[in-house]
A and B are shown apart, each in its own frame.
Chain A
Amino acid sequence: MAETELPGLREADVRAYLVDVITPVETGWSPHRNLFRVYRLPADCTTDEIDSALTSIPKLWGTPELREHTEAVERLRRGHQTAVRVLRDPRERSVHRTAVAAERTALAKVVDQFLRSAPGMPTTAVAALVRQSAGRWSRPDVLAALEQHRAVEREPASLDVPPDTFRSRRIAAALADLGIPSLWEYLTRNLSAGGPDIHADVLRRRRAHLRTRRGAAVATEETVLKIVQQALDEPDGLSPLLRHEFLTELSVAVLVGYQEVSFLAAADPQRCVASGLPRDPDTLAYAVWCRRTHQSDWESDYRQAVADGRLHAALAVLSSRRLTGDWEPVRDALAATVDRLAADVAAARELEDTAPEDAAARYLAAARELTDPAIESGLRRCPAVAPAEVSVRADRDAVVITWQESTSTAGRLTYRVSRGGTVIAHDTDALTLSDVPPSGVPTSYAVQTLRNGVPGGMAHSREIVLVPDVLDLAVESTMRSVQGRWRLPPGAVGASVMRSGPLGDTAEVATPDGTGFDDTAVVPGVQYRYLVRARYPGRAGEPEDSAGLAVYGECPGNPRQVDDLRAGLSGDTVELTWSRQSGSPLVIRVPHDGVAPAPQVLRAADAVVAGRVVAVSDTGRASVPVADLAGQRVLVPVTVSGPLAAIGAATRVTAPLEPVSGLHARRFGPQVVLSWQWPMWATDARVVWRVDGPPTGPLDPQATVVEISRSAYAGRGARITATLPGEHWFGVSVVDSALFGPMVTVCSTRLREVRYSIRRAAWWRRGELLMAVHGPEPAPDIAVVAKSGSRPLAPEDGVEILRLPAPGPPEPVRLRVPRELRRPVFLRAFSLDETVVLAHPAPHLLVVP
């Protein structure tokens, strides 16, 4: 509801809303039963209308006229979210619409039963129906149902109903004896009087007529005339009698129906006039109808009035009728109570000026028994004292309101807290409250004391401006600047940033859009402190700043090389330490080939030359499992800063020098092939060997030395030529930085070799072979073996065809291959001395085809 709309129109809408919604809610009607009424929407409302209503109606609740109905307004506010959901969802809105229509139909049936063709219902009947519905229907619902039946809420005219006296009973009996239905009938027909204004001559003439007749009827008619005469002598004349008679007839007609009543009321207008009843037959009929159909049970009315505290009304109910014996003491007691309470109220009235608290106490005491507007008026004239002081303080993004308890003592004291025109709390007994007002706007609070809900004195706080800090503040650094970003809270119009350096120098940093800054006036490697404050309009001409949030930023600049990386073994882990550099994590890399690149600054993308990454840390410490190094021992520190990287001085893991394992020697003639298992960290080994005994150590001066790297060993193995006969001792030690590990030795014996040959004898000596032993070395015992089809593998694998004892023949020896051996026959000479081997220059030729 905009402030620019016509106030008259607004006032009318407010009043209508008060009647249609607020009052029913206060009397128990649930607003969820008809959201269309609550939000002033037609049943076939559009989405725009709904959106507009959901926005404007809640504002209506805050108007002063409705705000006082706090209970109803609070109930409406609590149900607003549900209403939003129902009205905005087409499906739910349709269901609600159907439910409202069903209720309307049901109520229409009920009202129809109440009306029974009557043109309306009195207010009390409407209220009774609403009360009986226990909140299901509201007064507007009933009125709408009346309208549906073309009926209205209508108060009946008041009827002066004369009591049923002895005279009326007597004349009614007499007329009944005469067979005359009514006194009016007698007057208009029998007496031809034309109405209640009967001339005395008419009565004399009739009386004279009756003297001439005899019988019971004459006596009865004379009684009637006598009563008529008596009535005419009274100031009201016959009207009371006629009125009583007519109303009785009309009341009986009520049993038939309203139409009967209406017909009877309209049948003889003169009778209405003569009876002193409303001339308009509709008015008369409706009045009689209401009196007869909606006249509540007086006992119920009495009890209701007592329960409501309306003792005056209760007393009036008892006083307006003839009571039985049981009720008279009740009336008397009630009258005494009413008198007492009236006296109390009067006494309170007297004390208002001098002792308002005592007066209030008396009023409240009387209010416990009596409901009287005078009591409420009196309480208003004795307002509770306002709280002595109301204080406010800011607590982050909220304001805490605190006040002192009122000095008043009478009644139930509570407080109403409001901010401007908005009620924050109503009828609270707390002494402190928290509220979130609009940021940056000067705000003050008012606390009003309520005595039993009646407003009393009000106290105000000072103005306070809530200025929360910026939101989501974040700082990041680039190679050349420090940048900050944040969000402004609602109400803030900008921000201010103050930079502080390590030496205490300060400078303001510009924030062009109020949501960030880009500080390029920074020195790389220096950490700065930034204080960011949100700025609010504040009071006129004086902006308000928040307390501020401090953050730190540092422009890294070029990366700095780490030159103190240290590595040490700790079980299965390599522990790394270095001098930590603020803001720059260190990447530990392992070169693929164990060769570290020279310290340098290069592009970060090119830092892969330093090898694969095994650890990243910015704490100055790191642990790397030994297995991750895969035998590598060189570690390179790389510092990355933006697009650049700095390769620092590499370090080497100092590994324990362990011996090789599984050392084995395999001799291939004069060549010995050594094989062993390398320790994890070993990359180089020294092989020493000598003939006369095991080497004394890796530095044995008598031994022959061969250095071999692990990669070379992997390629070709360790091959050593050891031609001299005898025992050759080999020792293998791991080498690392001129330090040797334990040496492992192995022995390989080179057997003494004696050459021999077998060839054909002279061409004419068919089948004859010559065997000769060559060389200065004495030959061992030799056995020459022949075998058919394949080469002999051992002295016993074939036929021995020649035995030569040591030291061997000086001249070639003749031999023949036995004829019985199937050709081809393979020949081979075996040394019978295990320390000597025999070698033939062309063993592939030792075949006799």
Chain B
Amino acid sequence: MRAPIWSVPTRRVPACPYCHARTPGKAYLRQCASRCGETAIQFPVSEARKGKCPHGRAPKARRVCPVCEQVVPREYVEGRPRVIAVVGAAGSGKSTWVASVIRRVAKGHLDDRFPGMSLDVLGEGSRLRHDRDRVLVAETVLPLATEPGPLLVSLHIRPRARAVVIAFYDSADGSAANLEHADGLVLAVEPGAAVPGDAGITRLAEAVRAARGLRPHSRINMPLAVVLTKLDTVWDMVDPASPLLRPVPRSGGYAVSDGVDVHHETAAWLGHWNKTDLIRGVHTAFRRHRYFAATALGDRADGRREPIPYRVEDPLLWLLAGFGAIPVFRGREGPTS
């Protein structure tokens, strides 16, 4: 099966990751360097002559949004950022998933599949959040609450490849602004039958339609990854032949066969936990969707250990494949060792 590649406008006016105002890149403001002293000013990028400030000196590299006056990383403004909104009920594992994915990529744990893959956190706010989340994930301590604001990262799939700038927004309800500008959605769902229902998919679909000005009950083109988090809590229930107990394929891209296999298996488990409303709602509302199962922390039966995540990167790889950032493999299972 060939994974679809959904078209994303390649050239569009970037939206500020903080106020979501769409402002042309050249309208963003730059700041004079400290050498300009008291005469330092902010000026539009378009007024920089040969990259110099009006005083003839090299300005600061960062950009400032002319609407909210927040500092926006240059890579974000000049790149083609992808916005991924992570939604789900409180405690469903949204922030943990984001932190675990970033940690796996940043620590080079995907090097065997993507040699030379690197990740940079953009902006001071993202850096502080990443430092905090990194420690919390390493100590398998879940954060109590997520601070508002996006996590901006720059992802290099290959050493000299163009960076993919991603803005992760995670919130319990998903703010309208995030949904309006999102390029992909990740819905975190906890396993088990303790919380039946549709996991908020109906409300989410309505919010997406409203944010994007779609007609009611229309199918949404934005890709949706439904992630069954905390897989480690139900591992012992899974059949040994299940793909959820199979090594992750080592392909240098997204393995469609493995993804579909996991999709079917996860959907079956969701149905088993009476989440048919969720399945139905996802199928009805979202034209492009896939189910995933992952654990960010690994086995915790015997107390705290180093986190051993499993398949946390699958949703991100699926979205990156859809963005065209990584290749897609139809692929059979590769060698299991």
Contact = CB atoms under 8 A, between A and B. Distances in A.
A791 B264 contact: yes
A842 interface: yes
Interface string A221-256: 000000000000000000000000000000000000
Interface string B1-41: 10000000000000000000000000000000000000000
Interface string A74-90: 00000000000000000
Contact of A793 (B243, B257, B268): B268
Interface string A737-778: 000000000000001000000000000000000000000000
Contacts of A661: 302
Interface in B305-325: 305-306, 308, 310
Interface stretch (B113-121, B127-135, B234-242): B234-242
Nearest to B107: A715
A116 interface: no
A792 B268 contact: yes
B306 A713 contact: yes
Nearest to A847: B264
Interface residues on A, range: 35 or more
Given A677-B303, A677-B304, A793 B240 contact: no
Given A668-B245, A669-B246, A662 B305 contact: yes
A716 B109 CA distance: 7
A714 B108 CA distance: 12
B337 A721 contact: yes
A662 B241 contact: no
Contacts, number: 94
B298 interface: yes
Nearest to A787: B268
Interface string B207-221: 000000000000000
Interface in B272-330: 272, 279, 298-299, 301-306, 308, 310
Contact of A843 (B261, B279, B299): B261
Nearest to B257: A844
A701 interface: no
A839 interface: yes
Contacts of B305: 662, 675-677
Given A668-B246, A793-B268, A844 B260 contact: yes
Contacts of A793: 239, 268-269, 272
Main SS of the interface on chain B?
loop
Contacts of B51: none
A838 B301 CA distance: 28
Given A790-B267, A791-B268, A671 B336 contact: yes
B59 to A, nearest CB: 34
Contacts of B303: 662, 677
Interface in B168-204: none
B332 interface: yes
B247 interface: yes
B247 A844 contact: no
Contact of B240 (A721, A751, A847): A751
A822 interface: no
A664 B302 contact: yes
A844 B264 CA distance: 7
Nearest to A846: B264
B69 interface: no
A844 B239 contact: no
A677 B302 contact: yes
A847 B268 CA distance: 13
A667 interface: yes
Contacts of A666: 235, 298-299
Q: Which of B107, B240, B271 is the most central at the interface, judged by chain A CB atoms within 10 Å of its CB?
A: B240
Interface in A707-723: 713-717, 721, 723
B265 interface: yes
Nearest to A670: B336
Interface in A423-454: none
B264 A826 contact: yes
A797 interface: yes
B47 interface: no
Contact of B243 (A713, A789, A792, A843): A843
Interface string A769-807: 000000000000000000001111110010000000000
Nearest to B306: A714
Contacts of B308: 673, 675, 717
A504 interface: no
A108 B185 CA distance: 109
A184 B299 CA distance: 149
B333 interface: yes
A837 interface: yes
A795 to B, nearest CB: 10
A791 B272 CA distance: 10
Nearest to B269: A793
Contacts of B240: 667, 751, 837
B299 A790 contact: no
A677 to B, nearest CB: 6
A675 B336 contact: no
B272 A797 contact: yes
A794 B261 CA distance: 16
A790 B303 CA distance: 35
Given A667-B240, A791-B268, A715 B299 contact: no
A673 B305 CA distance: 13
Interface in B249-272: 257-258, 260-261, 263-265, 267-269, 271-272
B264 A664 contact: no
A810 interface: no
A163 interface: no
Contacts of A723: 336-337
A215 interface: no
Contacts of B269: 793
A669 B271 contact: no
Contact of A838 (B241, B264, B267, B298): B241
Nearest to B259: A844
Contacts of A664: 299, 301-302
A841 B247 contact: no
A122 B279 CA distance: 132
B245 A841 contact: no
Contact of A668 (B247, B260, B279): B247
Contacts of B1: 844
A661 B261 CA distance: 35
B197 to A, nearest CB: 18
Interface in B88-114: 107-109
Contacts of B279: 790
A526 B243 CA distance: 77
28 contacts: A662-B301, A662-B302, A667-B240, A668-B245, A668-B247, A669-B245, A669-B247, A673-B298, A675-B299, A675-B305, A675-B306, A677-B304, A715-B109, A717-B306, A721-B336, A723-B336, A723-B337, A751-B240, A790-B264, A790-B267, A790-B279, A791-B265, A791-B267, A793-B268, A837-B241, A843-B243, A843-B264, A844-B260
Given A662-B301, A723-B337, 14 more contacts: A662-B302, A664-B299, A668-B245, A670-B247, A671-B336, A675-B299, A677-B305, A723-B336, A791-B265, A793-B239, A839-B241, A843-B243, A844-B1, A844-B258
Interface of B: 1, 107-109, 138, 235, 239-241, 243, 245-247, 257-258, 260-261, 263-265, 267-269, 271-272, 279, 298-299, 301-306, 308, 310, 332-333, 336-337
* 10 closest Cβ pairs, A-B complex: A662-B302, A844-B260, A721-B337, A791-B268, A790-B268, A844-B261, A837-B241, A717-B308, A791-B264, A790-B271
